[in-house]
């Protein structure tokens, strides 16, 4: 088995991963692994943009205040202030990569607005902000041939010293990695491992996330003993296009920021009945209102109405959304746009500081994989790419001082296949995959109850046992790795939801509709890594 040595092992190629790699390459050897192609990540699909206070009329305090309100009492204010305060430096990092954010005819930033924001503070590049950023960062990466990039490389599990039989405190020293093209397994041995694998939207049947969002970083960190926080707070984006042929296409919240209103299928507005802020209320409220309207009327979808803005504006401001809707026979300037809520963002994750430190030495987490305390119980729109930029920047700064600490020299045992044989029952994987996603949607969705959560946990535990048997009976494949991670995330979400006896932010339960006076984050300890345990 090949062992690759480096100072920094970055896992993931969205904004948090690429930015981490670019910063860290200045201080040590970086290896970056991503399970598909570089651009196969959530960042690439971000439409709305990136929050940053750019308008002299706006202020950092106002942005902090909006973030705290959306976070419903669970944000860590110090973290919010730090990240909001560093956002401008993060934006400059992107501009240095060549990203051009939109400006008006007068040359000033063309700032967008989204739900929960009291001011226009969203930098965007049309309605394909994520794609523009991802392309620019990948171009920048190509100018750094010293960064060793491994595409089609899926992390199986982290290498931790206790499992390797090394005495002393547990420490992460890299990971076993599967080359998904050759099926070879190698080890990456690193002084520091940085998880930037995004979220776990695929745990739900309906999601606007790409197929890669299977919660890999959260699951492998948990299996290595790292602490996980706030997994019950899954954000459902209120407005995913509802069309039989549209797979996970988002109608950006920026569309509501420019005046679209939520209406029923007859064109009647309904949001004022739920919140005085109407269609621009925070996402948790809007998603629940849509869910409630759909349940009340039996309609399979609600609609967005932005016809008043006219064709010229819509084509200029939302060229991608306008074009995509037309492909599906929907003319935004003339028709209502059918929408449904879908899983979008994981506000919880691997507990980490703003500079990426997790509870497991040698392991950092950045971007959506991490739970820093910025989002609390509900993320403010467009705060996520900002967090990815800032956590990557601050983590690299902290780790720079470790570069001289030296690479680990602990021998890594060969990957053992044991009695495993080539899989010949892929149908089992497909079935378990579908079952998890369906039960999470039905039992652990926008509105929860104790009874549904208990049912979900029961099923997930059985599924995890079956997955474990399958995992040990058959040689690892990309599908089994994703399934195993998805099941762990599903269980972490359910167990976190069961611990919260109140309705707060994105966690809404009919059994506890009120709120407790002194809320705490939900902490789940990592899987106990006691001693030598076989990896395979």
Q: Which residues are annotated as catalytic?
A: 283
Nearby residues of 374 by Cβ (< 8 Å), 6 or more positions away:
67, 71, 75, 76, 79, 80, 83, 383, 387
Strands (E), 266-383: 302-305, 337-346, 349-351, 363-365, 370-371
- 279 contributes a contact to ligand SIN by CB under 6 A: no
Coil/strand/helix, residue 428: helix
Q: Minimum distance from CB of 114 to ligand SIN (Å)?
A: 6
Our CB check for ligand SIN shows the closer of 63 and 163 to be: 63
Binding piece for ligand SIN, criterion CB under 6 A, among 248-256, 287-295, 331-339, 357-365:
248-256
Q: Which of 86, 12, 189 is nearest to 21 (CA)?
A: 12
Our CB check for ligand SIN shows the closer of 198 and 408 to be: 198
- x/- track of binding to ligand SIN for residues 371-410 (CB under 6 A): ----------xx-x--------------------------
Residue from 253, 264, 293, 482 touching ligand SIN (CB under 6 A): that is 253
Rounded CA-CA distance 171/152 in Å is 26
Backbone dihedral angles phi then psi of residue 58, each to the nearest 5 degrees: -90, 170
Backbone dihedral angles phi then psi of residue 76, each to the nearest 5 degrees: -95, 110
Rounded CA-CA distance 191/250 in Å is 39
Our CB check for ligand SIN shows the closer of 49 and 362 to be: 49
- 47 contributes a contact to ligand SIN by CB under 6 A: yes
DSSP state of 272: G
Q: Give the number of residues in contact with ligand SIN, rule: CB under 6 A.
A: 9
Q: Minimum distance from CB of 67 to ligand SIN (Å)?
A: 12
- 254 contributes a contact to ligand SIN by CB under 6 A: yes
Q: Is the separation of the CB atoms in 353 and 346 below 8 Å?
A: no
Q: Minimum distance from CB of 99 to ligand SIN (Å)?
A: 17
Residue from 252, 358, 364, 378 touching ligand SIN (CB under 6 A): that is 252
Binding piece for ligand SIN, criterion CB under 6 A, among 78-86, 251-259, 396-404, 443-451:
251-259
Can you read off the two tokens belonging to residue 288?
């629940």
Of residues 320-339, which lie at the interface with ligand SIN (CB under 6 A)? Answer: none
Which spans in 207-249 are helix H?
A: 216-223
Can you read off the two tokens belonging to residue 273?
């009945």
Can you read off the two tokens belonging to residue 141?
């990466």
Binding piece for ligand SIN, criterion CB under 6 A, among 136-144, 160-168, 245-253, 505-513:
245-253
- 216 contributes a contact to ligand SIN by CB under 6 A: no
Binding site for ligand SIN (CB under 6 A): 47-48, 250, 252-254, 381-382, 384
């Amino acid at each position: 088995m090949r062992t690759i040595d480096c100072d920094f092992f970055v896992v993931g190629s969205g904004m948090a991963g690429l930015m981490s790699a670019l910063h860290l390459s200045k201080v040590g050897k970086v290896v970056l692994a991503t399970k598909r192609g570089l651009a196969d990540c959530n960042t690439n699909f971000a439409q709305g943009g990136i929050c940053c206070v750019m308008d002299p009329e706006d202020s950092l305090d106002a942005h902090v205040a909006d973030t705290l309100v959306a976070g419903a009492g669970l944000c860590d204010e110090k973290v919010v202030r730090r990240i909001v305060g560093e956002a401008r430096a993060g934006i400059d990092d992107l501009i240095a990569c060549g990203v051009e954010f939109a400006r008006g005819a007068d040359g000033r930033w063309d700032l967008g607005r989204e739900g929960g924001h009291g001011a226009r503070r969203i930098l965007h590049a049309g309605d394909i902000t994520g794609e523009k950023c991802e392309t620019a960062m990948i171009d920048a990466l190509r100018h750094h041939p010293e960064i060793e990039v491994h595409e089609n490389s899926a992390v199986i599990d982290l290498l931790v010293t206790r499992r390797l039989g090394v005495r002393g405190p547990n420490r992460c020293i890299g990971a076993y990695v599967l080359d998904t093209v050759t099926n070879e397994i190698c080890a990456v041995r690193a002084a520091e491992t940085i998880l930037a694998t995004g979220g776990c939207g695929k745990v739900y049947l309906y999601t606007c996330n790409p197929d890669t969002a299977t919660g890999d970083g959260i699951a492998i960190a948990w299996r290595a003993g790292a602490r996980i926080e706030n997994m019950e707070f899954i954000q459902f984006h209120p407005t995913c296009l509802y069309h039989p042929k549209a797979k996970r296409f988002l109608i950006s919240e920026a569309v509501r920021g420019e005046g679209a209103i939520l209406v029923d299928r007859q064109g009647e507005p309904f949001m004022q009945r739920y919140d005085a802020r109407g269609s621009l209320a925070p996402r948790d409220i809007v998603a629940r209102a849509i869910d409630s309207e759909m349940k009340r009327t039996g309609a399979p979808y609600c609609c967005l109405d932005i016809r008043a803005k006219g064709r010229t504006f819509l084509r200029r401001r939302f060229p991608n959304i306008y074009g995509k809707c037309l492909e599906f026979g929907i003319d935004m300037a003339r028709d209502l746009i059918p929408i449904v809520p879908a899983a979008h963002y994981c506000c919880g994750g691997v507990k980490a500081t703003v500079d990426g430190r997790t509870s497991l030495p040698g392991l950092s987490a950045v971007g959506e994989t991490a739970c820093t305390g910025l989002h609390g119980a509900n993320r403010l729109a467009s705060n996520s790419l900002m967090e990815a930029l800032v956590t990557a920047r601050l983590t690299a700064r902290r780790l720079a001082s470790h570069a001289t600490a030296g690479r680990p020299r602990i021998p890594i045992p060969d990957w053992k296949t044991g009695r495993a044989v080539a899989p010949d029952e892929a149908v089992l994987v497909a079935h378990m995959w579908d079952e998890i996603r369906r039960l999470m949607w039905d039992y652990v969705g926008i509105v929860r109850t104790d009874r549904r959560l208990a049912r979900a946990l029961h099923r997930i535990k059985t599924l995890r046992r079956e997955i474990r048997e399958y995992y040990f009976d058959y040689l690892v494949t990309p599908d089994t790795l994703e399934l195993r991670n998805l099941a762990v995330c599903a269980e972490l979400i359910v167990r976190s939801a069961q611990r919260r006896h109140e309705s707060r932010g994105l966690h809404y339960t009919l059994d506890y509709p009120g709120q407790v006076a002194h809320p705490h984050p939900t902490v789940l300890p990592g899987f106990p890594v006691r001693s030598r345990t076989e990896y395979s």
